[in-house]
Structure 1
Amino acid sequence: MNRPRNPELTRSALLEAAGRVLQTQGAALSLDAVARAAGVSKGGLLHHYPSREALLSALALELIERFRACVEAARAREVAAHGEGPGAWLRAYIEVSFTPAAGEDALIAALAPLAGHPELIARLREAQAFVLTEAEADGLPPARAHAVRLACDALSLGPLTGLPDLDPGRRTALKEELLAWTRV
């Protein structure tokens, strides 16, 4: 008996499997390993993602969408708790940036080698353009909004570049300072 095919579910399973494989094998993951982890043939994987780079690109874009959804959920909680007002989106951005999802750091680190692909970087930049527009539309002076956003981004990406990370006390102090910058 043939199984009904659902391309969206298959792509989702492939991306989930790619994330798991990346966490164990790093950026050297093989398509065979991803196909096995997803329970599909390598041909099935290649049907949806014709190359390793296409798969990793899709995973990177998926991570961006997950982050965006987390920020939107945190913003909804912020608005529900404190009402609509300047800085609500940035406070949500801070909250999500300081509480990364389990395994996200490993995935981001594993995707770092893709930085040498200009086409992918252009797609990632386009997918993340929302951080510029949302920060500037949050009701605070744009320079302050970008300072908060860039501090959060540096906190997340710093370890990938070898920058020393902050100990828990310093992280807490930084988070509180950034939150203070968002209150008017």
Structure 2
Amino acid sequence: MARSAHPELTRAALLAAARQVLRRQGATLSLDAVAREAGISKGGLLHHYPTKERLLAALAHALVEDFQRELAAVHGAETAQRGPQPGAWLRAYIEVCFRPDVDEPALSAALAPLGALPEQLASLQEMQAFVLRDAEADGLPAGRAHAVRLACDGLWLGRQVGIPDLDAARLAALKEELIAWTRP
């Protein structure tokens, strides 16, 4: 990749390359492999992301932003179809959380070390504070809203730590039950 007059495009290409490398190599991602995948020199990569941790932190932020965009799109569709009803945001959250994600295992394994870096963890927590705010603003009792949200989060986290996943029938039953909890 030639030097770009648009550094944001170069950073986006580097993050896309990091995703590809993570899909193939998981947590063994190297900066050399990311640079090769992006078609840029390692020095060019280091200009934008001076450390592996900075690259992974940027990727984590991009993933949260992707999740927020997907959630907003699903919420918008829900609202357009049924109008602004209580529980609409939580139904969108359920829908997005229950979709299969091909990147999930490799990305989660690679991003886990960021939890040990207090400044990165604080930044990610701040960026994801919307889930508390939006769940509580969804028109349902706060306890029920958080029970739904935490069930979705627990499903995702369980997969990350190796807890046996539910089969398709059980997943469908869980999803239906959580959706029922979002109806006023």
TM-score band, normalised by shorter chain = over 0.9
Q: Deviations over 1:112-134 (max 9, x none)?
A: 23322222111110110000000
Aligned residues: 183
1:154 corresponds to which letter in structure 2?
G
Q: Take 2:84 and 2:106, find their aligned partners in 1: how far apart are those partners?
A: 34
Find the counterpart in structure 2 of residue 30 from structure 1: 30
Find the counterpart in structure 2 of residue 162 from structure 1: 162
1:51/1:3 Cα in 2 relative to 1: closer, same or farther (>3 Å)? Answer: closer
Q: Deviations over 1:74-126 (max 9, x none)?
A: 00010111111100000000000000333234322332233222221111101
What is the deviation of 1:160? 1.2
Contact 1:22 1:110 in 2 (8 A): yes
Contact 1:78 1:92 in 2 (8 A): yes
Find the counterpart in structure 2 of residue 90 from structure 1: 90
What is the deviation of 1:139? 0.3
Contact 1:23 1:110 in 2 (8 A): no
1:48/1:79 Cα in 2 relative to 1: closer, same or farther (>3 Å)? Answer: same
Q: Deviations over 1:44-65 (max 9, x none)?
A: 1011111100000000111111
Q: Take 2:102 and 2:83, find their aligned partners in 1: how far apart are those partners?
A: 29
Q: Take 1:63 and 1:154, find their aligned partners in 2: how far apart are those partners?
A: 18
RMSD of aligned alpha carbons: 1.3
What is the deviation of 1:28? 1.9
1:82 corresponds to which letter in structure 2?
R
SS in 2 for 1:122: helix
Q: Take 1:3 and 1:51, find their aligned partners in 2: how far apart are those partners?
A: 20
Of stretches 100-109 and 121-130 in structure 1, the one that deviates more from structure 2 is 100-109
Contact 1:14 1:45 in 2 (8 A): yes
Find the counterpart in structure 1 of residue 175 from structure 2: 175
Q: Percent of aligned pairs with the same residue?
A: 64
Q: Take 2:103 and 2:3, find their aligned partners in 1: how far apart are those partners?
A: 32
Find the counterpart in structure 1 of residue 21 from structure 2: 21
| TM-score, L = length of structure 2 | 0.95
Of stretches 98-107 and 129-138 in structure 1, the one that deviates more from structure 2 is 98-107
Contact 2:86 2:139 in 1 (8 A): yes
Find the counterpart in structure 2 of residue 150 from structure 1: 150
- Where in structure 2 are there 5+ consecutive unaligned residues? none
Q: Take 2:117 and 2:32, find their aligned partners in 1: how far apart are those partners?
A: 23
Off by >4 Å, runs of 4+ in structure 1: none
